[in-house]
Amino acid sequence: MKYTSLGRTGLQVSRLCLGTMNFGPETTKEDSFKIMDRALEHGINFFDTADVYGWKKGEGITEKILGEWFALGGGRRERTVLATKLYGDMGNGPLENWPNTNRVTALHIRRACEASLTRMQTDYLDLYQMHHIYRAAPWEEVWEAFEVLKYQGKVLYVGSSNFAAWNIVQANETAAKRHTMGLVSEQSKYSLLQRDIELEVGPACEAYGVGVIPWSPLGSGVLAGVMKGQDGKRRNGDWVKKLKEEKGDQLTAWENLCDELGEQPADVALAWTLTRSFVTAPIIGPRTIEQLDGSLRALEIELNAETLAKIDEIFPGFKTAPEHYAW
């Protein structure tokens, strides 16, 4: 396994991040345990989750699965760099339909952190991420709440997800005035099908030492081989059929290029994200051990300048703003 620093920190994380969103809804608890054990065997130490995963409001099903796995012992928690997220509505029971059970406020940050720690049976989070920007809360309020958690030893680093570049700048400039570290990572949707962050988010993150953690690096499976049926069950969805109609020529060219390389499209798509200078680790979301094992091939694929140029011809990217749209 290859490792790198998480943003500008000294924390070493694997170049692939294990996403757990399928744990519960798509993958049984028992199979989730096996996938996590295999991930550690492979040296994948970076696990990402969120309090809303499991998709039953307020229950935190996926976090509970991680907690039961940590409780098995054997150094599982100690070997894991654990990242989770807050923002979505977690109000249920007596708090059903009440305000202040979501977003990013001092109250919800405190409540959400305690709830995640309880569900995952741990006393700290390595990386605590805001799942989305909440513009109504001033950064002074947000940072004070996270600072309290850090002083208490419950959170080590803070990250963001789905932020615009100016949100990242705001956050880190405010943190600098408070003499705190600020954001160290940003989770963004990034793949060959959606390269928008190359305009501003990627450059801003690089300038501030914020590591980018791409989510959906396979374009929700579309880059895994939908034209030739290599992507499994996802190929029959209506949205995939629509994409095949709209981008069929691109996807066919993509899969033909991967055939020339003698590699699986999913592996090449992951390998491509690893060539981006601002990327720390793309998130893989395996439903099975076989999918997990297969994803490691991406670490071995080397894409030369000629191949990268061919990829850009198929899926044109963005220059850094403002050069992309101005002289």
Spatial distance between the Cα atoms of 88 and 79, rounded to a whole number of angstroms: 28
What's the chain's Rg over C-alpha atoms? 20
Spatial distance between the Cα atoms of 255 and 265, rounded to a whole number of angstroms: 6
Spatial distance between the Cα atoms of 88 and 108, rounded to a whole number of angstroms: 10
Task: Report in angstroms the alpha-carbon separations of 33 from 69, 186, 287, 316.
Answer: 6, 27, 12, 39
Question: Residue 235 has which token pair?
Answer: 């190929």
228 CB neighbour count, 10 Å cutoff = 14
Establish how many alpha carbons lie within 13 A of residue 279's alpha carbon, considering only the half-sphere containing its beta carbon: 24
Spatial distance between the Cα atoms of 237 and 192, rounded to a whole number of angstroms: 20
Mutual angle of helices 201-208 and 165-177, in 10-degree steps: 20
- What residues pair up with 283 in beta bridges, in sequence order? 17
Q: ∠ CA 211-213-215 to the nearest 5 degrees?
A: 160
Nearest partner of 79 among 70, 89, 68, 88, judged by Cα: 70
3, 53, 87, 157: the active-site residue: 53
Is residue 53 among the annotated active site residues? yes
Question: Dihedral angle at the C-alpha atoms of 168, 172, 173, 179, nearest 10 degrees?
Answer: 170
Point out the residues that are catalytic.
53
